[in-house]
Structure 1
Amino acid sequence: MKTLTLLGVTGKPYASLVPGTCAGHRGTRIYGRLDCRAARRAIANGGYVKHRVFFADEPTAIAAGYRPCAVCMPEHYAIWNSTNKGDA
């Protein structure tokens, strides 16, 4: 079985045998679905990959300080945005 690297709630990497359900961008601290069209477009254009991180689940991404993607998770982003006005 292949070992994968995920980020934990502290933002530190750890080894996992189970793939994550969310991906994020280390620089922007945004997380989203693995099939996010914005992330796929950035990857296709040659960017993003070296900054990409993976999380076991959404609560872990949030605990690590990441915010939801407005493209692939608009409902989650709207909630985050309404409670974080001026924090971004």
Structure 2
Amino acid sequence: MTYTLLGADGRPYVSAAPGRLGGYRRGRIYGRLDCPSALRAIADGGYMAHRVFFADEATARAAGYRPCAVCLPDRYREWKNGPHDRHRLRHRGPDRPRRVGTFDGLRGATRDGGT
């Protein structure tokens, strides 16, 4: 049997061994395969189309994914408080405010006043 995993470059590759960690491509989050949050999302449907797998934590981090706050709280805390390459992640923190001119959800208006 073969498995498709993501490599450190974020590209899929075929592996003889299954992934040890799962991830969510849209949120660029990785965690344990038995993560309660991931299992709920899978049960709700729609999640599997964006599911990815990694051989190990170092590969997941190198691919630009962050630890899950639910199943890896210590690693998540370290990630959140430590230096990391935020431009590769889809995380909007206080140092990365919403861009001017993006949709703010109010009747199609944008932050710069346009429509």
Q: Which residue of 1 aligns with 2:11?
A: 12
1:61-76 alignment runs, 5 A limit: 61-76=60-75
Normalised by the length of structure 2, the TM-score is 0.72
| Paired residue type of 2:50 | H
Instruction: Look at both structures and tell me which one has the larger radius of gyration over its CA atoms.
Output: 2
Q: Which residue of 2 aligns with 1:45?
A: 44
The unaligned stretches of length 5 or more in structure 2 are 92-115
The unaligned stretches of length 5 or more in structure 1 are none
Partner SS for 2:69: coil
Whose RCO is larger (CA < 8 A, sep 6+)? 1
Query: Hey, which of these two has a bigger chunk of strand by percent?
Result: 1
- Runs (4 or more) in structure 1 with deviation over 6 Å come to none
Number of aligned residues:
86
- Cα RMSD, aligned residues only: 1.2
